[in-house]
A and B are shown apart, each in its own frame.
Chain A
Amino acid sequence: MSRTLTIALLSGSTENDDAAFVVNLARAVLARGDAVNVFLYGNGCNLANKPVPFDGRSPISDALRGHMDGFVLAGAIEELAAAGAKFATCHTTEYSRGTEGLAYLDGVAWGDVGNSYTRFLMSTDVLLTIGR
Chain B
Amino acid sequence: MLSTINVVLRQAPGQEASVLGIRAAYAMLTAGGFDVRLLCLGDGVYNLLGVPGYPGDLVRRFAAEGGTLHAHDEALDARGLSGAALEPGTEVLDAAAMADLVADAEATTAY
- Mark A residues whose CB is within 8 Å of B: 8, 10, 41-43, 92-93, 113-115, 117-118, 121-129, 131-132
Partner of A42, one of B1, B17, B30, B106: B17
Contact B16 A42 (CB under 8 A): yes
- CB-CB under 8 A from B1, the residues of chain A are 122-125
Q: Mark B49-71, 1 if CB is under 8 A from A, else 0.
A: 00000000000000000000000
Q: A8-B109, A42-B16, A127-B107 are in contact. Are A114 and B31 (CB under 8 A)?
A: yes
Q: Interface size (B, Cβ < 8 Å)? A: 19
- Mark B residues whose CB is within 8 Å of A: 1-2, 5, 16-17, 20, 23-24, 27-28, 30-32, 34, 106-107, 109-111
By CB atoms of chain B within 10 A, which of A43, A113, A131 has the most? A113
Contact A118 B2 (CB under 8 A): no
- CB-CB under 8 A from B27, the residues of chain A are 113-114, 117-118
**Minimum CB distance partner of A113 in chain B:** B27
- CB-CB under 8 A from B24, the residues of chain A are 8, 41, 113, 117
Partner of B17, one of A117, A126, A128, A132: A132
Contact A127 B5 (CB under 8 A): yes
- CB-CB under 8 A from A10, the residues of chain B are 17, 20, 111
**6 tightest A-B CB contacts, nearest first:** A129-B109, A127-B107, A118-B32, A113-B27, A114-B31, A114-B27
Contact B28 A129 (CB under 8 A): no
Partner of B31, one of A93, A118, A123: A118
Contacts beyond the supplied A114-B31, A118-B31: 20 A-B pairs with Cβ under 8 Å: A10-B20, A41-B20, A92-B23, A93-B20, A113-B24, A113-B27, A113-B31, A114-B30, A117-B24, A118-B32, A121-B2, A124-B1, A126-B107, A127-B2, A127-B109, A128-B109, A129-B109, A129-B110, A129-B111, A132-B17
- CB-CB under 8 A from A113, the residues of chain B are 23-24, 27, 31
Contact B34 A121 (CB under 8 A): yes
Contact A42 B20 (CB under 8 A): yes
User: How far apart are the CA atoms of A124 and B1 in the complex, in Å?
Assistant: 6
User: How far apart are the CA atoms of A121 and B32 in the complex, in Å?
Assistant: 8
